[in-house]
Structure 1
Amino acid sequence: MFNIIGYRTLKTAVGAALAIFIAEQLQLDFYVSAGITAILCISVTKKDSLKASWQRIVACVIGLALATVMFEFLGYHVIVLCALLLLFIPIIVYFNAKKGIVTSTVFMLHLYTLEQVTLDILLNEILLLLIGVGAALLMNTYMPSNEKQMRNNQLELEQCFQKVWYEYARYLRGNVTDWSGEELITASNKIDDGLAHALKASDNHLFRYDDYFYHYFKMREKQFEIMERMLPLISTLDQTVVQSQKIAEFMEELSKAVHPGNTAIFYLNRLHELTEEFREMELPSSRKEFEVRSALFHLLYEIENYLTIKKKFKPEPERTNGDKGCRNM
């Protein structure tokens, strides 16, 4: 039943019912307004809910104060209500509490309906507000973890990277052109999805900033941009030389080493050795070979950028020990 209804729908229903129940037991006037407030304050993340609740408190305090002054001095007339809203809304926008406009308007209309303002009435409205906000915050103490989705995105993204490196190596080795390139599209989607989940996860931690997955997907985003830049460069290499064979072998190593862990320094050292080896080889014997080798050196430069980005990435703390000794990317 929980899966069918959805956790947010269930929390909204329970939160509204709880707020109305408490307000009704306290014999507050307009007790259903506590339920409305609770519904409006329940959000998709804890930080959003806390922000929305605070904005509604600020807006309601300002609205009740402003309504008290205008209604008591100018009377309980529609024209005064119109003037009140014309003055109130810009003030709330100025104080960056726009999410509280609807809730505070409801409370101001209570005063307009009663046609009087007393301490008991104001206390009634404040209690309605606090009960609704409190019920919403209580419901939002539970937020389902999306770590499973992030880890799935991580795994599928790394599989795409592995495939891309493998296909790059195949082309360099034998100009094989039967790859559709769909992994590039999938990787882009997985990065966007992973970043969205990571931002949502960080907004559900009020007292700590859980940013591992956010930094992970940002790191992969930068690496992916490099891999995309490499594609047109590789596609121009229609002539196979010794250097392209060696780079293909290196790319195959990278393909097998894509992993959340971080030992990029190993592959950077290997890359530097490969670069020095190329520099010590005989000069190209033709213009065509010169162009190919020049493009290959550019390719090495892009691979170095790819590895440097991973080198700067801080691994997930609890998984660091398990990654020791693994040559992974």
Structure 2
Amino acid sequence: MKFIGFRTLKTGIGAALAIIIAKELGLEYAASAGIITILSIQKTRKKSFKIALRRIGICILALTIAIILFGIFSYNEIIFGAFLLIFIPLAVKFNGEDSIVVSSVLVSHLLVEKSIELPLIWNELALMFVGVSVALILNFYMPNLEERIKEEQVFIENAIKEILLRMAEVMRGENICEEGDVVFTSLEDRLRAARKLSYINLNNNFIADESYYVKYMEMRMRQLAVLKDMREHFRDDFANYEQAIIMGNFTDKVASSIYEENSAEGLLSDLYKLRETYRNMELPKSREEFESRASLFQFLNDIEQFLKIKNEFIREIR
């Protein structure tokens, strides 16, 4: 377990650096630059950049309102309260909720100094600029997540393959059905974590298009939902019927073709032939057989949806 995370390390270094720079520039209230840096360091480059621009804009809005109010009236707590009553709703309207506290602190400096002279206004703008600039520079470096995402892809594909193989074994009577399979649960947890990583990776790149991994994880999430349906339609008595053995062999084939680049077109073609074979088979002889074969047919429909999701993904990225 890591005692200090990478973001925490950047925050500590950034706050200290911002205060030092502000002091070297001769700015008053230099510690405010450090606080601004702390609040501006985000998980991704894009988010950090957006917040920086928004924070500067909201700061200019706050100072403008303060200059007008302090200039017309006076420097006291009531006017500062009036400033907040005007500023906060406007900040919210411009989606600047995350900049309200920082900008209010900067305006409070005007109240303490009882001045709206240009040097003090420039001082507050400079504090904001130093704080967000240091945060942006530190956030420019982000760990490369691509290798981790690729490792997760391998795990996800192997887990899906294992689930399908187990289903195939049960249908052929070679294994027993395992409810609450650990592999299934582990797959869902890892897939959700990998999807989160893919979105972070996407938002860490301004130029390169990293949407492939997001689309891949979303595709696997949709397939996971279908796998859940397949498990719902699964029965222990499948192995009693010839159709289940055929389905088990086909499920084996799907499991062996789960890898990333496979478009699933060939498998879909085989599935349509399999469905036609089922339709030409002898009708069920008992209610039990009818129910089992109905569940088996629904399982086939689930596999079709599973394969179509993959096929749509390949078509989209090509």
Common fold by TM > 0.5: yes
Question: In the alignment, which residue of structure 2 is the partner of 1:324?
Answer: none
Question: In the alignment, which residue of structure 1 is the partner of 2:245?
Answer: 245
Tell me if structure 2 keeps the 8 A contact 1:212–1:316.
no
Tell me if structure 1 keeps the 8 A contact 2:14–2:38.
yes
Tell me if structure 1 keeps the 8 A contact 2:16–2:34.
yes
Tell me if structure 2 keeps the 8 A contact 1:262–1:313.
no
CA positional deviation for 1:43: 0.9
The residue identity in structure 2 corresponding to 1:57 is I
CA positional deviation for 1:285: 4.0
Question: In the alignment, which residue of structure 2 is the partner of 1:323?
Answer: none
Residue 23 of structure 2 is aligned to residue 24 of structure 1: yes
CA positional deviation for 1:112: 0.7
The structure-2 alpha-carbon separation of the partners of 1:11 and 1:24, relative to structure 1 and needing over 3 Å to count, comes to same
Query: Which residues in structure 2 correspond to 1:56-75 (within 5 Å)?
Result: 56-75=55-74
Tell me if structure 1 keeps the 8 A contact 2:235–2:292.
no
The residue identity in structure 2 corresponding to 1:135 is V
User: SS at the partner of 2:88?
Assistant: helix
Question: In the alignment, which residue of structure 1 is the partner of 2:233?
Answer: 233
Residue 301 of structure 2 is aligned to residue 301 of structure 1: yes
> What CA deviation, in whole Å up to 9, does each residue of 1:83-103 have, x standing for no partner?
222222112111211111111
CA positional deviation for 1:190: 1.8
Listed as ranges, the gaps of 5+ residues in structure 2 are: none
Query: Which residues in structure 2 correspond to 1:243-282 (within 5 Å)?
Result: 243-282=243-282
Query: Which residues in structure 2 correspond to 1:60-99 (within 5 Å)?
Result: 60-99=59-98
Tell me if structure 1 keeps the 8 A contact 2:177–2:236.
no
Tell me if structure 2 keeps the 8 A contact 1:216–1:313.
yes
CA positional deviation for 1:158: 1.7
**CA distance in 2: counterparts of 1:205 and 1:316, whole angstroms:** 21
Q: CA RMSD in A?
A: 2.2
User: SS at the partner of 2:204?
Assistant: coil
304-313 or 79-88: bigger deviation = 79-88
Tell me if structure 1 keeps the 8 A contact 2:176–2:236.
no
Residues matched between the structures, number: 316
**CA distance in 2: counterparts of 1:310 and 1:225, whole angstroms:** 13
> What CA deviation, in whole Å up to 9, does each residue of 1:270-323 have, x standing for no partner?
222222333333344444434433332222222111111111113898xx9xxx
The residue identity in structure 2 corresponding to 1:235 is R
**CA distance in 1: counterparts of 2:167 and 2:286, whole angstroms:** 25
Question: In the alignment, which residue of structure 2 is the partner of 1:42?
Answer: 41
Tell me if structure 1 keeps the 8 A contact 2:37–2:131.
yes
> What CA deviation, in whole Å up to 9, does each residue of 1:225-274 have, x standing for no partner?
11211223222645522211111111122222221122311211222222
- Percent identity between matched residues is 33
Tell me if structure 2 keeps the 8 A contact 1:260–1:315.
no
CA positional deviation for 1:210: 1.2
Listed as ranges, the gaps of 5+ residues in structure 1 are: 321-329
Query: Which residues in structure 2 correspond to 1:130-209 (within 5 Å)?
Result: 130-174=129-173, 176-177=175-176, 179-180=178-179, 181-209=181-209
TM-score w.r.t. the length of structure 2 is 0.91
User: SS at the partner of 1:312?
Assistant: helix
138-147 or 24-33: bigger deviation = 24-33
**CA distance in 2: counterparts of 1:239 and 1:123, whole angstroms:** 79
The structure-2 alpha-carbon separation of the partners of 1:237 and 1:191, relative to structure 1 and needing over 3 Å to count, comes to same
**CA distance in 1: counterparts of 2:28 and 2:260, whole angstroms:** 57
The residue identity in structure 1 corresponding to 2:114 is E
